[in-house]
Homo-oligomer: A and B are copies of this chain.
Amino acid sequence: MLSLVYRLLVVPMSNTLTLDTPLDMHLHFREGDLARVVVPLSAKYFGGGIVMPNLVPPVDTEERLHQYRREIDALVEGTGFTPLYTLFLRPYTESELKKLRPFITACKLYPAGVTTNSESGVTDLSKLFPTIALLEEMGIPLLVHGETHGFVLDREKEFLPIYSQLATTFPRLTIVMEHITTAAAVDLLDRFDNLFATITVHHLLTSLDDILGGLLNPHLFCKPIPKRPIDRQALIAVATAGHPKVCFGSDSAPHPRDKKECCGCAAGVFTAPIALQLLATVFSESGRLDSLQTFVSDNARRIYPITIDRKVIVLENQPMVIPDTYGPVVPMWSGKTIPWRISEVNGL
């Protein structure tokens, strides 16, 4: 019955689109001043989302988890946004995990040094197998930043055998390939029942050409780096098809402008406050607006699985100009006009 209500709600009515409880399954909320800027921007339009644990120090102890929960919970209070917390994967004991289980939705695996604040990540995966076995047993999904240390364009492809190994070794473990960027990763998705993926909106909208095919655009520079147009097409196809194993995860990663327009610019694209509007643009251009509810909410609720308070967002096919900045952060496509905007937010 509930699913019928959802379906009625998401049918595009003339020039509007209603989304039931959109979820962002890959968020970087940071801490302190930056968190105060960016958390409310996600909380405004999303019903909930996965909060990544790659802080300095990482979220990998009970104390750190609760301290971070207190900080973020205070920032989302009254917004109707449910933060879903994660642990930075290291070897954990069973009793540690049991104690933390009620407070987390997933664990996140970072190979050491491949992205922002991942220096304390994993160097030898086999050492983590006992902990991963515990995750499988306890029904905790494993989220994976799947890149090797190879040549920048090959890092995801080179990691795919590790996904296969994990999926085979832990057949009851829910494994999420985070922010996939290649046609090869899309292909892998259907080879293992327990393998899922998140896709960002910037990887649906850009290829390497957009970063450096013309002038260099540091605000589109991110990891994993966007690949070839053919890879982007594969991502669009699987997302807009309503494929049951892919979820939206923005990987929205705020850096202050002076860390982007400089020498040694940090990786990350900030999309949180415009993600739904951009997604509506992509899905509408593909003629598949009807699949956006599946991609941005239904799949995630079934896969992880999670229950979230409802929040209904209405978009309309009317132009919006993307702001130049949000606090110190320059968003993707700042100043550009896009064809969808948010017209209504309520906690229906």
The interface of chain A, by Cβ under 8 A from chain B, is 151-153, 207-209, 211-213, 215-219, 221, 225, 228-229, 260-267, 330
User: A216 to B215, Cβ gap below 8 A?
Assistant: no
Assembly CA distance A265 to B153 (angstroms): 22
CB distance from A179 to the nearest CB of B (A): 16
Question: Chain B: which residue is nearest A258 at the CB level?
Answer: B261
Q: Which residues of B lie under 8 Å from residue A330 when comparing CB positions?
A: 263
Question: Chain B: which residue is nearest A334 at the CB level?
Answer: B263
The answer to whether A151 and B216 touch (CB under 8 A), given A261-B262, A261-B263, A263-B261, is: no
CB distance from A222 to the nearest CB of B (A): 10
User: A213 to B263, Cβ gap below 8 A?
Assistant: no
User: B263 to A152, Cβ gap below 8 A?
Assistant: no
The answer to whether A212 and B221 touch (CB under 8 A), given A151-B228, A228-B151, is: yes
CB distance from A6 to the nearest CB of B (A): 39
This chain: copies in complex: 2
CB distance from A211 to the nearest CB of B (A): 7
User: B215 to A152, Cβ gap below 8 A?
Assistant: no
User: A263 to B218, Cβ gap below 8 A?
Assistant: yes
User: B213 to A216, Cβ gap below 8 A?
Assistant: no
The answer to whether A218 and B265 touch (CB under 8 A), given A211-B212, A212-B212, A225-B212, is: yes
Q: A151-B208, A152-B208, A211-B212 are in contact. List 7 more A-B contacts (CB 8 A).
A: A151-B228, A152-B209, A152-B213, A216-B216, A217-B265, A218-B218, A218-B263
Assembly CA distance A263 to B262 (angstroms): 9
A-B contact pairs, 28 of them (CB 8 A): A151-B207, A151-B208, A151-B209, A151-B213, A151-B228, A152-B208, A152-B209, A152-B212, A152-B213, A153-B208, A211-B212, A212-B212, A212-B225, A215-B264, A215-B265, A215-B267, A216-B216, A216-B221, A216-B265, A216-B266, A216-B267, A217-B265, A218-B263, A219-B263, A260-B263, A261-B262, A261-B263, A263-B330
